[in-house]
Chains A and B, each alone.
Chain A
C-alpha cells in the first residue's frame, strides 16, 4: 500500500491557475470514481474539497475542480488566492477495499 504520488510543491501568483497531480496504479484507483481531495491549513484538520473525481461539497468554492485521466487524477485551483495556501492531499479507494492517500502537495501563493 504505497502512497499515491504528488509533487511536493506547486506555486502560483494570485489570479493564476495551478494544477496538482496525483498518480498511482490501476489497483490504487480500483476502477471506481472514488477519488477525493482534501485541503489542510496549518495546524488544522483536513477538509474535503472534491469527491468522486469532480464533485464539490456544498460550500466549497467553484474555483476548485477535479479530473482524472488513466491513472492520474488532478486538482485545479483557478483564480488563485492567498487563502488557498495550504497542503493538498488526494485519496482513492483501492482494489483491496482499503483507501490510500497521496504524498501531499504544498501550494504556495507567490
Chain B
C-alpha cells in the first residue's frame, strides 16, 4: 500500500525557519511526482510545490524564494524547507503523490498532514 507520513510541523515565530519531512512507503519518491499542498485554518487548499521524478522543482509565487522542495532518495523522503516564515504561512501542510494511477497528472495519495503555526 502507498503511504505518506509527514512530520516536522510546530509553532514558529515570524521570520523563522522550519523543515517538513514526508516519508513514503510502498513506492519510490524518486520515480513519481511529489507535491506539497497547504490548507490554512478554515480555508481552502493551496498548491505549494512540486519535485518531478527528474529532479526539477516548481513553487507557487506565494512561497517562491522562501520555500525549497527537495528529496533524499536513500531515505525515500521529500522535504519542504520553509524560510522567512510569515503569519500567512500558518496551515496544515500535506504531502501528496502524483503517480501511475493518475497518469502523474493528479495527486492520487495524500498524507495525514502536519500543522505549522507562525505566530509571535
Residues on A close to B: CB < 8 A? 1, 3, 32, 34, 36, 38, 40, 45-48, 51-52, 55, 57-58, 87, 89, 91, 93, 96-104
Contacts and interface: CB of A to CB of B under 8 A. Distances in A.
Contacts of A91: 45, 47, 106-107
Interface string B68-107: 0000000000000000000000000010100001110111
Chain A CB within 10 Å — which of B35, B45, B110 has the most?
B45
Contact of B106 (A1, A40, A45, A51): A51
Interface of B: 35, 37, 44-47, 50, 58-62, 94, 96, 101-103, 105-108, 110-113
A48 B44 contact: no
Given A51-B103, A52-B105, A45 B44 contact: no
Nearest to A33: B105
Given A45-B94, A98-B58, A98-B60, A89 B106 contact: no
A93 B105 contact: yes
A36 B101 contact: no
Nearest to A87: B44
Contacts of B111: 45
